[in-house]
Chain A
């Protein structure tokens, strides 16, 4: 399928037309059930060692997607393949070996660490499950703590004795304790202060190189996402509306929504802050229960036409593995260009064009 793409390794994780619906009971007696499609027809691929950034505003379904990818939620449709094995509806027992290889780091380290367990105990669980001999566990815990930049002398401390940044490091160490190939990071730095955020982002990129990890990096912060990712998917109301190699997305946003998101980020520079045109879009995302016809971004889009109301746009490649779902992308009329001098600096930027033929 990937014609013209550079040869790639088999994908580590592959989602095909993934859907996650939540029932919402409405009506006087809560008798009618309607559904919110938090994740709607999402397809993506992740190569070993690659970082895919998923960005979007609250309610766009990025956290639901993350939960699907680690199978904390069971997708209601579509399929999810881990190293070629279908795990969409795999039973908890058969998932066990996969769970070790796919780990997750949560946004709020305070809520995701057991406050009654000491750091050593928290980390030991993953090691035991992995079959590390009891005699070596202590040593391994020390090694894990060193790896994430914590003092191995603190094994007997409780999570509350650490600062926010340190707690997130414990969360990362816990994910590493299972020796995963893939870590899904759901807003891993958004609860942290600026100076600490940079430390954790750097730590993640060091670990990735050292352990050849693949990441799915979910965040709302466009600057952090850009820094951390090889490839980025932009989500809006459950859909991926644009997907592209990281630098290309920022140099050449094609979807009006992506452009608006980028324009809305305040830049820490006086002259630029004054010169930028700010309000590109008005309003708020549509109600997920009452989606507009056609393109979901249509009611807020400055470029919307009748076509947008009639036909739901599909993702199409605009060259350089830059996919966008828009009838009126920002580089002119939709046309498939020949693959130009693409910026394919990261591994696996080629998988993108397999999404929708």
Chain B
């Protein structure tokens, strides 16, 4: 079956007073029906711009888009605005981080969903209203007949995000793009909302692109993971492979710098020195090079995103099945990466131990 969404060498450039910002640089991926793709990255990694560009939300006079975005085989990047409007909210829906700014504050929430339904489908107001109430009930809003007549400010943050999910589901989309959907919410609410979102997607085989910086959420939700940094994809792999065998030095440093509840407390958190690159003035070659402890002379060239090359002749045997479709953007060969990752881990454990001893 053809993938639901195909993105090929997507590039987004913003022309600003300070110069040209290459926010997204050659991002390619495909997403099958009903799958969950997580895009992880820090601020400025291009993860949100990628998502917005899929929906045609970055179009403006100072934006330059190239590459291709095909949804159901149809090109979206160059589609006329009215065709895009049919797709937005219809075939593809978006959930934003802050529901307070995404909802109209002076319109009752039910009316907003009804309006959306009636934009896409020729049905009567009362039918649309019934569907709205059903949707609100489905996302776990108590007394939906009453609450549909309330204004956004009368909802709590978690309930407002549920309204956003109901709105996103209203026209039976095949893809939902969720940009940091629970970042503004408390952990207990986050847990409830993600459970519901996961269940809704699985029930109606809706594909999900989950944009987040929370590695824990990724571990829980994703089928595939794409790690972005400085506008480029540095690693793209099935989620199990990414967590068991992260191959890009940035990914393994990122996974390690998260303080964890399921491990012993360490004296010192492992860190990544420096800060993310400026996209106005990115470093030559690999964007992670200035912060990478393992960079070498070849890193001034941009490495391709590909399956890691194993120099050994019997490379095929070394590579497990989980390596299939495991892409990363680093010049190091597979063995060296695994060895360095192991050494890095030993280093941080030694440092952590030394600090714990020192404190005792």
Answer whether A279 and B191 are a contact pair too, CB < 8 Å, given A202-B271, A224-B259, A268-B215: yes
The one of A224, A265, A345 in contact with B187, judged by C-beta atoms closer than 8 angstroms, is A265
Chain A residues near B172 (CB-CB < 8 A): none
Chain B residues near A197 (CB-CB < 8 A): 257
Q: Are B187 and A220 in contact (CB under 8 A)?
A: yes
- Chain B contact residue count (CB 8 A cutoff): 48
Q: Are B261 and A281 in contact (CB under 8 A)?
A: no
Distance (whole angstroms) from the CB of A261 to the closest CB of chain B? 6
Distance (whole angstroms) from the CB of B143 to the closest CB of chain A? 14
Q: Within 8 Å of chain A (Cβ to Cβ): is B127?
A: no
Contact residues of A between 44 and 94, Cβ < 8 Å to B: 57-58
Q: Are B216 and A268 in contact (CB under 8 A)?
A: yes
Answer whether A223 and B213 are a contact pair too, CB < 8 Å, given A166-B275, A261-B188: no
Q: Are B42 and A265 in contact (CB under 8 A)?
A: no
- How many Å lie between the Cα of A260 and that of B192 in the bound state? 12
Distance (whole angstroms) from the CB of A67 to the closest CB of chain B? 20
Distance (whole angstroms) from the CB of B203 to the closest CB of chain A? 17
Q: Within 8 Å of chain B (Cβ to Cβ): is A269?
A: yes
Distance (whole angstroms) from the CB of A7 to the closest CB of chain B? 19
Contact residues of A between 258 and 297, Cβ < 8 Å to B: 260-270, 272-274, 278-279, 281-282, 284
Chain B residues near A246 (CB-CB < 8 A): 265
The one of B189, B239, B262 in contact with A272, judged by C-beta atoms closer than 8 angstroms, is B262
Q: Are B254 and A194 in contact (CB under 8 A)?
A: yes
Distance (whole angstroms) from the CB of B181 to the closest CB of chain A? 13
Number of residue pairs A-B, CB distance < 8 angstroms: 126
Q: Within 8 Å of chain A (Cβ to Cβ): is B317?
A: no
Q: Are A201 and B219 in contact (CB under 8 A)?
A: no
Distance (whole angstroms) from the CB of A322 to the closest CB of chain B? 17
Q: Are A262 and B188 in contact (CB under 8 A)?
A: no
Q: Are B259 and A223 in contact (CB under 8 A)?
A: yes
- Chain A contact residue count (CB 8 A cutoff): 45
Closest to A263 in B: B191
Q: Are A198 and B261 in contact (CB under 8 A)?
A: no
Q: Are B156 and A266 in contact (CB under 8 A)?
A: no
Answer whether A194 and B187 are a contact pair too, CB < 8 Å, given A223-B261, A267-B262: no
Q: Are A266 and B188 in contact (CB under 8 A)?
A: no
- How many Å lie between the Cα of A166 and that of B258 in the bound state? 19
Q: Are A250 and B275 in contact (CB under 8 A)?
A: no
Closest to B272 in A: A195
Answer whether A278 and B191 are a contact pair too, CB < 8 Å, given A163-B275, A198-B271: yes
Query: Which positions in A face B, CB cutoff 8 Å?
Result: 57-58, 163-166, 193-199, 201-202, 205, 220, 222-224, 226-227, 246-247, 250, 260-270, 272-274, 278-279, 281-282, 284, 345
19 contacts between A and B (CB under 8 A): A194-B258, A195-B254, A195-B272, A195-B276, A197-B257, A198-B269, A201-B269, A223-B260, A263-B191, A264-B187, A266-B190, A266-B219, A268-B215, A268-B219, A269-B243, A270-B219, A270-B239, A270-B244, A279-B195
